[in-house]
Structures are given as C-alpha cells and as structure tokens.
A and B are shown apart, each in its own frame.
Chain A
Amino acid sequence: MIWNEEAECRAAEEKEELQLKRLQEVVKRAYENVSYYKKAFDEVGVSPEDIQALNDIEKLPFTSKTDLRDAYPFGMFAVSPDDIVEVHTTSGTTGKPTVSGYTQNDLDLWGEVMARSLTMAGGDRTDRIQNCYGYGLFTGGLGVHYGAQKIGATVIPISAGNTMRQVEIMQDFGSSILTCTPSYAMYLAEVLEEQGVGPDKLNLKAGVFGAEMWTEEMREEIEKRLKLSALNIYGLTEIIGPGVAQECYKKDGLHIFDDHFYPEIIDPESLKALPHGSKGELVLTTLTREGMPVIRFRTRDITTLRPGKCECGRTLVKMDRITGRSDDMLKIRGVIVFPSQIERALLKIEGLHPQYQIIVSRPHQLDELEVQVEASPVLFSDEVKHVEGVKRNIEEHIHDEIGLRVNVSLVEPQSLPRSEGKAVRVIDKRNL
C-alpha cells in the first residue's frame, strides 16, 4: 500500500519542478524571517533570487549542528513563537540541546510523512502499533504517534522501558507493528524467549526500527526471532524527527520523502556536492517546514543516494542504510557519546595519562564499550584489590560523564598506538 500515491510516485520532472518551487519558497522564507540565514547568505553573497535551478542550492551555505545550538532556544524559528504549537529537542548530551519548533502545519506534515512510513511498513487502520519509542522531548514517540493516528491504526503509546509490561501488552493486545530501536527489539526478543513466549503467541508482522545504526545481520536476527518484517526508518530532530526516510518491503534502501526533505550528498572534506551513487555525507533541506526551516543541514551521516523507480512503485529517491558518521560521534545503545567526553572523565583522575582507546563492539546484540587506559605508577600497586579499585574508579568517572556503563582495561604504557596528528581513539568493531 502507498499512503500518498500522487506524492510518492511522481514522475522525475514533475517532482523536480515541485522541489524547485518549494526550495525557492523556503529559502526566501528563511532569509526574510531568520536572522541567522540572512547573515549567513549575505556573508557568501547569495540571495533567494539566485535559486533558479535545483542545483543552485549548492550556492547556499551549510547549517551545522553548532549553528542550531548557538540559536538556542528559539533563534531558528521563522514564525512568531506564538504560532509554534509544539517543541522537541535533541538529547543535549554534548551541551545545549537543539530545539525544533513545529507549527500546526508542521505537525500535519510530520503526521503525513510518518503515515507514509507506517503504510510503507504494511500498516493500516487494522493494525495495533506498539510504540516503544520514548514520548516526551525526544521526537521518536510522538512522531510515530501522529503517523499511527493518521492512518487510523490503534496506537499503543507505551513509550520506552518497562520490558515486562511491553511483553505482557504485546501478547494481550495482539500488537501487530512494533516501533523501537533495533537493539531494543533484540532485547525484547531475548526476554520473550526467556519467558517462553514464542512468535506463535504473538501477532507481530512488522517492525519499524531506527534511531541508531544497525546492520543486515541484525535485521536477519530480529526477523528470525520475532517473526516479523524488520524495516529501517530514518529521521532526525533537526529536520523533523522520524519520518525523513523509510524502507519499503524491498528492503533495499530507504525512500526519502524528497518532496519535503531535499537530500544532497557532499564530500565531508571538500564540502563539494557529489553525484548520485557516490558515498558521502547526507545534507538535508526542509522544503516545507514553517516553524523552523533548515537549509542544507549537515547530518554527518554517511550514505549514498539512488534515484529511480522502485519495484514498490515509488519514485522517492533511496538512500542506503547509514554506514557511519563523518565526525567521531558514537552512538552506543542509542546514546550519543563523543570520545572527548571520555577524555574529560579520564583527565579528572589524578596521575592518569590520558592515553586511551575506545573499543566499541556488539558481542550479544547490545553495544559494549571498552576503554583501554594506559597504567601509570600512580595507579599501580602491588595489591590486586587496589588496582581493581582504580579500574572501578575510572569506570565510575566515565559513567558520570556519559551515562553509560563501560568496561575499563588497564594496559601497559606505550602499548596504545600513537599517531601523528589526530590519534585513533575509536575502534568500532560493530561493522555498521
């Protein structure tokens, strides 16, 4: 099923015409109503009138996460704060969060793209959608909620956590679509197995999984264990939340709703736009957002764009599953972690040389973080219990900083690799 056939199956030329018209409008709106954009455009000497063709977008400056954060809380709004009917924020792990403001039309848009996503996953009014994305400032919960209501499904707004309850409700209510992070889906599968609840006792048919990077292997595992079709969803708070792109049953890339979110791929080093089919950083422009238009937002997510008509009938451009980040941001069990935070924690411990390496792995479907730290005379003792105490102390410090449990290993001095310039601090073994 296709929720909005007209929008999702447009001929290429017709789509490009619409995209250009909307791009011109949003650029004008941003320039006239948001001082940040006026300044940014003026600085590079570009004005809304310069957008005569779609690729003229390359003349516009990029917007980074830092730019959005600097405008905290409401500096990026293009309408009066009174016209904003809802706000969401990013988690703010690395400082001030980024605020996203929605007008009523923006909420309708969000419901529309999420309705398309859920329909793409096979959902309709007969479905019971168990929505385990967190409700609140996080966009996951309410985004799915609006889409689920739009398609007329029964939404079970259970939010994140309380796994025993999730398992109970899933059986009692006959949930047919599960929406959560892929690692939580894995965890649910484990708990269901422990409880002896086989897939035959469940009514699940599809899962809409996102908010973190995952792999094909994980998809196979989840599908095997939960007996459902596991589909990838993509979105980000800065742009709207979930519902920027969604996989169809072909499971061959995510359809970007490119009549609302205009994608580009750039080389993260040279910042030059790359042709379709090249791997690079995804840059997104909101074509229709009113409350907070975002022009050329650097997502830092690495992917490839593939236009053309899908077997499912849609002509929405496809993006490959995210394979990495252009900066060093790590997502561990859905939590954003920067190596610099770990460094900060280590520096708080007297006598510790901040020579460290972070090893991320996923041994049992859940992310594990190991921090290797070089031992130093101050940390060392002839007594095992003392050395173990030092290790625990470092683990506590890191936990306080990033909010996640890590395993600290002490290694011998000079055993971690040194490199000229930027040290290799992170080894990600998850093969995402």
Chain B
Amino acid sequence: MFKMKLKQISVFLENRKGRLQKALEVLGNANVNIRTLSIADTSEFGILRMIVPDIDQVQSILEEHNFVVKVNDVIAVGVPDEPGGLEKILGILNRADINVEYLYAFAEKKVEQAIVVLRTENIDAGIKALTEGGASVLSSDEVYEL
C-alpha cells in the first residue's frame, strides 16, 4: 500500500506580486523538473502544490530560501484520456462515501492517459476504494518514470 502513495510538496505563498515566480526561480536554478503543479488561491494567500521527483532535495532548497513547505501524501490515478474518464474515478469515491479535498490532473501523451492527483482526507481509505473499484492507482515510481 505504501508504494501506492505519491508524495506532494506544498509551498505557502503570500498573495503578493512575484512570489510564485520567486519560488519557481529557486527551483529552476536548482534544476528541478516539476512533473505537475496546481495552485490553490484565496484572497489572502496561495498554496502551490507540486509533484517533483526528488522531494527531499526540493524541500531543503525551498526551506533554505525561507519558504514554508509541507510534504504530504496524495494519490495518483491513471485515467484514460477520453471523455468521462475522470467522472468514473469520482463515482468510485462517491460510492465509497469518500470526500475529495482537491484534485488536479495532467495529460501524458506518451501513454495516452491522464494522471489525476487526488487528495482525500484519509489517503489509505481512498487508495483502497479506488483499487477495489478497478481504478488504476499509480505508484510513485510509475509517475516519476512517465
């Protein structure tokens, strides 16, 4: 089960001009290749969430530059890159009565599928429901190798 969890790193961004760019500049300078990202924004602050290959390295680089970061588990699911693909996944979770806190997705041309990154309140319960429901939960290695 453990290998099915994907690590995500989140960065606190003050709602101020140039802060996102600054974070990305730090990562670019360290040659970090971001697999995918999403930003949650409120009127007062933003949360930059990223999937990156070497999460420990990214954490220390960002912390060195005074960013507040948090690493936590998320679930990656491979979804056929066609209409209705995501709906099927959400249906599984809905039937298992599991709330999705947030999700974001990216399409991967090489394998003709989309990768959906999901955050459920209880990650283990989410993985269990998805696996049993026949979804293709990806291991972190699978995501990084894409």
Contact = CB atoms under 8 A, between A and B. Distances in A.
Contacts of A156: none
Contact of B49 (A382, A410, A412): A382
A415 interface: yes
Q: Which of A381, A382, A388, A411 has the most CB of B within 10 A?
A: A382
Contact of B14 (A377, A384, A415): A415
B35 interface: no
A326 interface: no
A340 interface: no
B69 interface: yes
A270 interface: no
Contacts of A383: 47, 101-102, 119
* Interface SS of A by simple majority: loop
Contacts of A391: 44
A313 interface: no
A382 B70 contact: yes
Interface in B77-127: 101-102, 119
Given A377-B68, A413-B67, A382 B42 contact: no
B119 A387 contact: no
A64 B18 CA distance: 48
A412 B47 contact: no
A379 B68 CA distance: 9
Interface residues of A, number: 20
Contact of B12 (A385, A388, A412, A414): A412
B13 interface: yes
Contacts of B70: 377, 380-382
A380 B42 contact: no
B57 interface: no
A381 to B, nearest CB: 6
Contacts of B68: 375-377, 379-380, 412-413
Contacts of B42: 384, 388
A89 interface: no
A91 interface: no
A410 B14 contact: yes
A85 to B, nearest CB: 54
A380 B66 contact: no
